[in-house]
Amino acid sequence: MITRKIPHFDLAQIAASGQCFRMEQDAEGCFWVPAGETAIRIRQQGDICSFDCSEEDFRDFWESYFDLTSDYQVFLDQIDPQDTYLGAASRYGGGIRILRQQLWETIVSFLISQQNNIRRIRRCIDNICSLYGEEKTDRSGRSYHTFPRPEALAGLAEDQLMACNLGYRSKYVVRAARSVVSGDFDLARTASLAYPEAREALMGLYGVGGKVADCICLMSLHHLEAFPVDTHIRQALERHYKAGFPSDRYRGFQGVLQQYIFYYELLGSQAAKDNAPLAF
């Protein structure tokens, strides 16, 4: 068990922020986080977090996954004090960190997210993991399925994942898997690219438009300058930034602020929390 005091880190906020779709809170109030081919149980009390993993696993994977070496106070301190809306959003969601998720899992997750709501996205991903992932057991003895590798999905018929409730998104995911397996899309190379080139490469995948590419760039590749604009963000911009979001002021970490705004907008009402489509 690894225990750390971590400011500006709230697992409940991260779980509800629309970045990841397999993280969940258990009956004891702990968070269970599967990521790629591993999983962890975390207990949080205030800013004290206990990670049920070895020191090596924490250092080699989870510390980076949760972006724990970054000082988010630096971002918060740069918010314009005259911008009352952004100030309120950052206070409301100030425990959110930008995750460093595995690229393949993030591609599939956001292909599924298009015109979909969070509850249904979670169900879709659970379905494909149960059917096509590898069954494993975590340190506590809990059984789970890993996120399916591209090879597990590339041989499927394009409509086969409709049985997992993906609907028309089934062909997006299957074609993406085929592109990876064939070598037409290189995961490692894309992960090494700067933001503009990575965004362009991602948009070469069938079904990936600019918004989805920006989500992947931000929430997997950690290009903090990416600023995905979905319906929630667009509405916020129309209400509060009629002349456009002041990106120049926040150059290099616009995506952090995007997450504060998105979370603030998403949880503005119970209906939005439960049913609003992400529209990526």
Is-catalytic flag, 273?
A: no
- pLDDT category of residue 276 using cuts at 50, 70 and 90: very low
Asked whether the beta carbons of 176 and 149 are under 8 A apart, the reply is: no
* Rounded mean pLDDT, 225-251: 93
Residue found under tokens 């933001």: 195
Choice among 145-159, 181-195, 266-280 with the minimum mean pLDDT: 266-280
Of 110-119, 148-157, 161-170, the least confident: 110-119
Between 269 and 243, the higher pLDDT residue: 243
pLDDT of residue 266: 87
- CA separation for the pair 210, 72 (Å, rounded): 26
Considering only CA atoms, which of 221, 220, 238 is closest in space to residue 229?
Answer: 238
**Rounded to whole angstroms, what are the CA distances from 157 to 13, 28, 171?**
37, 41, 8
- Specify the pairing of strand 24-25 against strand 2-5: unpaired
Say which of 171, 211, 242, 273 is annotated catalytic. 211
Joined tokens for residue 54: 């070895």
Backbone angles phi, psi at 33, to 5 degrees: -125, 100
- Report residue 268's pLDDT band, with 50, 70 and 90 as the boundaries: low
* 128, 164 contact by CB (below 8 A): yes
CB atoms within 10 A of CB 192: 11
> In sequence order, what DSSP letters do the residues of 53-105 get, joined into one string?
S-HHHIIIIIHHHTTTTS-HHHHHHTS-TT-HHHHHHHHHTTT-------HHH
Measuring CA to CA, which residue among 214, 224, 230 is closest to residue 254?
Answer: 224
Q: Using the 8-state DSSP alphabet, how is residue 161 labeled? A: G
Express each pLDDT in 97-107 by its tens digit.
Answer: 999 999 999 99
d(CA 58, CA 73): 22
State pLDDT tens for residues 107-118. Answer: 999 999 988 888
Q: What is the largest CA-CA distance in the chain?
A: 54
